[in-house]
Structure 1
Amino acid sequence: MRNHLQRDLAVLEQDILAQSSRVEEVIRIACRALARGETARSHRLAELEPEINAREVRIEEECLKILALHQPVAIDLRRVATVLKINGDLERIADLGVNVAERTMALGDDPGFPVPPLLERMGELALQMVGDALDAFCALDADAARAVCRRDDEVDACNREVIHQLYEVMRERADLIESALHFFSASRHVERIADHATNIAEDVIYLVEGEITRHRHSDLPK
């Protein structure tokens, strides 16, 4: 029975890593398309979303099946719980990536809008956070997961600066208000991607140490 459980857990983790690869692709395409105004890439994301959604449901079903059939305990139970939570965060990250792409398509009628310089940097940071959180999951590295949590502050700071720049544009150019609002939404979506990456990192800490760290970032060692 123990061997069957380990086999099913290994398959489950392979599935979540395959999902993470697709989700990272969505973020990469969406953020680059936004920064460069590449609407054609944005349409590609609409094709990826159903695949990600279907895999999210399949992974959840596998988690529930393992819980029902094997009744895992201790570290094995935490592994299933962690995959279940990461699965949900990945699906929401993909949704946010699609939302960013929708903002890019809405901006297609105004290609001359000045893109906030920090917005591309935000996308890079959020993508790195997602990738590093998943690497921490693969390596069972709680310290690397804590480092991801601390980097969320940098994304938040970038988001505040982008919003400030957009306010300045709207004050000076009333004709650009609609476009600025699309960038405002896109910046918020990218910031939320970083939040979900932080959630994944917190789940890794829980998996490795059995400690729930949500809402306790001030306690994380520097």
Structure 2
Amino acid sequence: MNTAHILTAFDRDLEAAQALVMRMGGLVEAALLDAAEALDTRDEDMAARVRAGDAAIDGIEEEIHTRCALLLALRGPTAGDLRTVLTLMRIAAALERSGDYAKNLAKRTSVLAQMIHVPGASGAIRRLAKAVVQMLTDALDAYIRRDLKLAEDVRRRDHDIDQMYNSIFREFLTHMMEDPRTIGPCMHLHFIAKNIERVGDHATAVAEQVIYLVTGSLPEDERPKVDSTGAGA
């Protein structure tokens, strides 16, 4: 049996799956930023493109899982290689869910375009989305570089996202109390902010998978959470 040939084939297949994950991550990041921009500018055409683009994200996740399943079945990876394949599958799942949240955000754009404008709300949503996308970018970079320090930093930054979300939630409450006409749009905007905050949770999950990949175990301490709104997933 040509062991060198088998190892080379495994590496090639693994690199192909990793390339798909990075491509998927790029699509998710773009979808989140475009959805936030569409909300800010009330661009319904851009929002429609984000919704349509979710199918490509789903398709890549399916291909990643198929490739990883074949790696497990045909290559029989052990130890670190096995952790890598499992990590890829979990990261792909987190990215797919994040893409769903971007699509959900875009769905609200056409509804909000017909409602009263809430001053400063869409800009705050956009800033939150940019912060979360940066987390996701760094988490994927940490995976490619096997950078434990960067992964741990991403995990800590989930606390900052929670604080941003809580601040936005309080702003919405203030608007609703001061002007009842904003209740409808603020409810939609709160749903959007919560969706983006959940993407932050998924970015944190990606970072935790990097920690698992590098160390062989997931973090034992619980994530620091500061969601004081009482909103559920």
TM-score (norm 1): 0.93
Tell me the distance in 2 between the aligned counterparts of 1:165 and 1:23.
Answer: 27
How do 1:9-24 residues align onto structure 2 when only pairs under 5 Å count? 9-24=14-29
Runs of 4+ in structure 1 deviating by more than 3 angstroms, as ranges, are: 214-218
CA offset at residue 204 of structure 1? 0.7
- Superposed displacement of residue 160, structure 1: 0.7
Counterpart Cα distance in 2 of 1:59 and 1:214: 28
Q: Residue deviations 1:41-86, cap 9 Å, x none?
A: 1011122111111111111111111101111011100110010000
Cα displacement string for residues 11-43 of structure 1 (whole angstroms, at most 9, x for unaligned residues): 111111111111111111012222333222101
Determine which of 19, 22, 40 is the counterpart of 2:45: 40
1:210 to 216, 222, 232: 216
What is the alpha-carbon distance in structure 2 between the residues aligned to residue 216 and residue 30 of structure 1? 31
1:66 equivalent in structure 2: 71
Whether the 8 Å CA contact 2:116–2:182 is kept in 1: the answer is no
Amino acid at match of 1:49: D
- Give how far 1:216 is off: 3.2
Q: Contact 1:23/1:93 (CA < 8 Å) preserved in 2?
A: yes
Q: List gaps (5 residues or longer) in structure 1.
A: none
Question: Which residue matches 1:104?
Answer: 109
**Counterpart-to-counterpart distance in 2, 1:194 and 1:14:** 22
Q: Unmatched 5+ residue regions in structure 2?
A: 1-5, 225-233
1:103 touches 1:185 (CA, 8 Å); kept in 2? no
Does the C-alpha gap of structure 1 residues 200 and 55 become closer, same or farther in structure 2, counting only changes over 3 Å?
same
Q: Percent identity?
A: 31
Q: Select the residue among 34, 49, 56 that pairs with 1:29.
A: 34
Distance (whole Å) between structure 2 residues aligned to residue 65 and residue 71 of structure 1: 9
Alpha carbons of structure 1 residues 64 and 215: separation in structure 2 relative to 1, 3 Å: farther
Deviation at 1:214, TM superposition (A): 6.2
CA distance in 1 between partners of 2:187 and 2:105 (Å): 12
Distance 2:169 2:200 in 1: 16
The answer on whether the counterparts of 2:116 and 2:181 sit within 8 Å (CA) in structure 1 is: no
Q: Are the aligned partners of 2:101 and 2:195 in contact in 1 as well (CA < 8 Å)?
A: yes
Per mean C-alpha deviation after superposition, the further-off stretch among 115-124 and 153-162 is: 115-124
In the TM superposition, residue 111 of structure 1 has moved relative to its aligned partner by 5.4
Q: Distance between the aligned counterparts of 2:46 and 2:151, measured in 1?
A: 31
> Does 2:186 match 1:171?
no
Matched residues, number: 218
- Per the alignment, in what secondary structure is the counterpart of residue 118 of structure 2? coil
